[in-house]
Structure 1
Amino acid sequence: MKKIYFLILAFVISFANAQTEGVLVLNEGGAGSNSAEISFINNQSVVTNNYYKSKNNNAVLGDTAQDIKIFGDKIFVVLNISNQIKVINKSDFSLITTISSNLDNPRYIAFSGNKFYVTNWGGNGSTTNYVSVYNISTYAHEANIPVGNGPEKIFAKNNKLYVLLKGGFGLNQFMDIINTTTNTVESQVNVGNSPNSIFEKDNLLYIMSSGDPYSATSFGRLTVYNTTTQTVASSTTFPVGVKPSYMDTDGTNIYYMNEASIYKTSIASPSITTTPIAITPITVNSYGTAYGFNVVNNKIYAADPQGYIAPGKIYTYDLQGSLLNTFTVTSLPNQIIAYSNASLSTVENAKASKLSLYPNPASNKFFVEGLYSGNVKVYDLNGRIAINTQYSENGIDVSALSKGIYIVKITDKNNSFSEKLIIK
Structure 2
Amino acid sequence: MKISKLIASAFALTLLFNISCRNEDNYEEAIPKGAYENGILITNEGGFSTPTASVSYFSNDFAKQEDNIFKTNNGNAVLGNVFQSVGFKGDLAYLVLNVPNKVEIVNRYTFKKTNSITANLSTPRYIAFANNHTYITNNDFFSVRKVNIYDNADNFVKSINFDRYAERITSSSNYIYIQTDGSTYDASYNELPTGHTITRINPLTNEVDKVITLNDEFIIKDMTSDANFVYVLTSNDSTSNFYKIAASTGIAEKISFENVAGGLKLAIDQNKIYMISSAKKVFNITGNTANELFSVTANNIYGFNVINGNVFVADPTFSSDSKTRIYSLTGTLLKTLTTGIGTNGFYKN
1:147–1:98 distance in 2 versus 1, CA, 3 Å: same
Indicate the SS of the match to 2:334.
strand
Q: 1:309 aligns with which of 299, 303, 319?
A: 319
Pair 1:160-2:180 in alignment? no
Pair 1:204-2:205 in alignment? no
Pair 1:226-2:237 in alignment? no
Q: 1:253 aligns with which of 258, 268, 272?
A: 272
Whichever residue aligns with residue 85 of structure 1, its letter is V
Q: Deviation per CA, 1:249-282, whole angstroms, max 9, x where unpaired? A: 2244321111252322344x13134xx4222220
Q: Deviation per CA, 1:200-252, whole angstroms, max 9, x where unpaired? A: 357332211234xxxx6x7432111123442122332545x811111112244
Pair 1:92-2:102 in alignment? no
Q: CA deviation at 1:99?
A: 1.1
Whichever residue aligns with residue 89 of structure 1, its letter is N
Tell me which residue corresponds to 2:159. Answer: 144
Whichever residue aligns with residue 219 of structure 2, its letter is S
1:311–1:210 distance in 2 versus 1, CA, 3 Å: farther
Range 243-252 or range 17-26, more displaced: 17-26
Indicate the SS of the match to 2:290.
coil
Tell me which residue corresponds to 1:326. Answer: 336
Tell me which residue corresponds to 1:129. Answer: 145
User: Contact (CA 8 Å) 1:210, 1:245: kept in 2 or not?
Assistant: yes
1:300–1:162 distance in 2 versus 1, CA, 3 Å: same
In 2, the alpha carbon distance for the partners of 1:87 and 1:228 equals 30
- 1:175-214 → structure 2 map (5 Å cutoff): 175-191=198-214, 192=216, 193-201=218-226, 203-211=228-236
Range 167-176 or range 316-325, more displaced: 167-176
- 1:8-407 → structure 2 map (5 Å cutoff): 17=34, 20-45=37-62, 46-122=64-140, 124-125=142-143, 128-136=144-152, 138-167=153-182, 171-172=193-194, 173-191=196-214, 192=216, 193-201=218-226, 203-211=228-236, 219-239=239-259, 242-267=261-286, 269-273=287-291, 276-283=292-299, 289-306=300-317, 308-339=318-349
Q: Deviation per CA, 1:24-43, whole angstroms, max 9, x where unpaired? A: 00100111111110011113
1:324–1:148 distance in 2 versus 1, CA, 3 Å: farther
In 2, the alpha carbon distance for the partners of 1:220 and 1:309 equals 32
Indicate the SS of the match to 1:156.
strand
In 2, the alpha carbon distance for the partners of 1:88 and 1:59 equals 13
Indicate the SS of the match to 1:245.
strand
Q: CA deviation at 1:296?
A: 1.3
Indicate the SS of the match to 1:277.
strand
In 2, the alpha carbon distance for the partners of 1:44 and 1:324 equals 11
Q: CA deviation at 1:22?
A: 1.0
In 2, the alpha carbon distance for the partners of 1:129 and 1:243 equals 26
In 2, the alpha carbon distance for the partners of 1:266 and 1:129 equals 32
In 2, the alpha carbon distance for the partners of 1:105 and 1:15 equals 35
Tell me which residue corresponds to 2:4. Answer: none
Whichever residue aligns with residue 45 of structure 2, its letter is E
User: Contact (CA 8 Å) 2:41, 2:347: kept in 1 or not?
Assistant: yes
Indicate the SS of the match to 2:41.
strand
Q: CA deviation at 1:196?
A: 2.9
1:17–1:106 distance in 2 versus 1, CA, 3 Å: closer
Whichever residue aligns with residue 332 of structure 1, its letter is G
Aligned residues: 308
Q: CA deviation at 1:166?
A: 4.1
Range 201-210 or range 289-298, more displaced: 201-210
In 2, the alpha carbon distance for the partners of 1:145 and 1:194 equals 23
Indicate the SS of the match to 1:53.
helix
Q: CA deviation at 1:19?
A: 7.7
In 1, the alpha carbon distance for the partners of 2:199 and 2:163 equals 7
Question: 5+ unaligned residues in a row in structure 1: which ranges?
Answer: 1-13, 284-288, 340-424
- C-alpha RMSD of matched pairs (Å): 2.4
TM-score by length of 1: 0.67
Q: CA deviation at 1:167?
A: 3.1
Whichever residue aligns with residue 220 of structure 1, its letter is S
In 1, the alpha carbon distance for the partners of 2:32 and 2:267 equals 33
In 2, the alpha carbon distance for the partners of 1:142 and 1:255 equals 36
The structure that has the greater radius of gyration is 2
Q: CA deviation at 1:140?
A: 0.2
User: Contact (CA 8 Å) 1:253, 1:265: kept in 2 or not?
Assistant: yes
User: Contact (CA 8 Å) 1:149, 1:168: kept in 2 or not?
Assistant: no
In 1, the alpha carbon distance for the partners of 2:184 and 2:154 equals 29
Q: CA deviation at 1:302?
A: 0.6
Q: CA deviation at 1:187?
A: 2.4
User: Contact (CA 8 Å) 1:52, 1:61: kept in 2 or not?
Assistant: yes
